């Protein structure tokens, strides 16, 4: 079974557009948890255009370290970010190579180039009992460098898969994800996935064995608007429950 972690960034973005605490991020986390999701994800950015530092700390109170529902904080590992993660102490931190002004995540780490810096970050966070995942493109060359960082997991950046889904390109794209996941697992590294996964394309992606967790936000929120939270979450949980 694959765990479903819901990214709440779009709830925070909607709230911030009106200047008051509605919709409330923690309240929506509670709604998703009540529907059975196994994780909550946030991606706080320096400009706080959606999730804020305070949101992160509030969610940390709802989901303290050791909770059955895991809290995942993802983002670029600036010193401010690392200090926030240490204070919040989530179950997992996903390190993402985002620029401060970047609209959304659009590439994985060059682990070969940054392995020493990543190793220091991993060690620092792991000292607090925080599992570390590294955002990664499907690349056998890059995954070979991950063990040197000490990270327990990678998160496969799935935009290329989502863009190819439903086209002839999928036949050449999906095997690269499967090969990267298989190599990571052979190296003792667990595999997460996320970015542009949705109800249409998730099932085929999860034919890749032993994906531990998918983090889904943007598409899931749109689908909730169209179909309702209860129906959408139930569909995702069914797909994840049927995963290899």
Please state the residue numbers annotated as binding site for 1-deoxy-D-xylulose 5-phosphate.
Answer: 45, 50, 104
Catalytic residue among 74, 155, 213, 223: 74
Give me the helices (H) in 17-89, please.
25-34, 53-62, 79-88
Judge whether 114 counts as a catalytic residue.
no
**Contact indicator for 7, 216 with CB cutoff of 8 Å:** yes
| Binding site as annotated, residues for 3-amino-2-oxopropyl phosphate | 7, 18, 196, 217-218
Judge whether 155 counts as a catalytic residue.
no
Residue 216, CB half-sphere, CA atoms under 13 Å: how many? 27
How far, in Å, are 118, 215, 217, 222 from residue 196 at the CA level? 25, 9, 8, 12
| CA-wise closest residue to 204 among 218, 190, 214 | 214
Judge whether 107 counts as a catalytic residue.
no
* Cα–Cα dist 193/180, whole Å: 12
| Binding site as annotated, residues | 7, 18, 45, 50, 104, 196, 217-218
Catalytic residue among 70, 152, 155, 195: 195
Q: Which residues are catalytic?
A: 43, 74, 195
């Amino acid at each position: 079974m694959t765990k479903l972690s819901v990214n709440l960034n779009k709830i925070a973005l909607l709230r911030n557009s009106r200047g008051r605490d509605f919709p409330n991020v923690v309240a929506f986390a509670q709604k998703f948890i009540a529907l059975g999701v196994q994780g909550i994800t946030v991606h706080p950015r320096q400009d706080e255009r959606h999730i804020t530092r305070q949101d992160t700390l509030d969610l940390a109170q709802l989901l303290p370290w050791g909770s059955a529902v895991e809290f995942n904080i993802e983002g670029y590992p600036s010193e401010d970010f690392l200090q926030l993660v240490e204070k919040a102490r989530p179950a997992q931190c996903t390190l993402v190579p985002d620029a401060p002004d970047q609209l959304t995540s659009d590439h994985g780490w060059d682990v070969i180039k940054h392995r020493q810096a990543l190793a220091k970050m991993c060690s620092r966070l792991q000292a607090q009992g925080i599992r570390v995942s590294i955002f990664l493109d499907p690349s056998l060359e890059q995954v070979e460098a991950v063990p040197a960082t000490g990270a327990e997991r990678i998160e496969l950046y799935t935009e290329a898969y989502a863009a190819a889904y439903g086209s002839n390109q999928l036949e050449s794209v999906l095997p690269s994800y499967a090969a990267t996941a298989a190599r990571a697992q052979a190296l003792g590294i667990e595999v997460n996935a996320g970015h542009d996964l949705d109800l249409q394309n998730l099932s085929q992606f999860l034919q890749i064995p032993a994906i531990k967790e998918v983090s889904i936000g943007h598409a899931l929120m749109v689908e909730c608007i169209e179909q309702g939270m209860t129906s959408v979450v139930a569909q995702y949980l069914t797909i994840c429950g049927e995963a290899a």
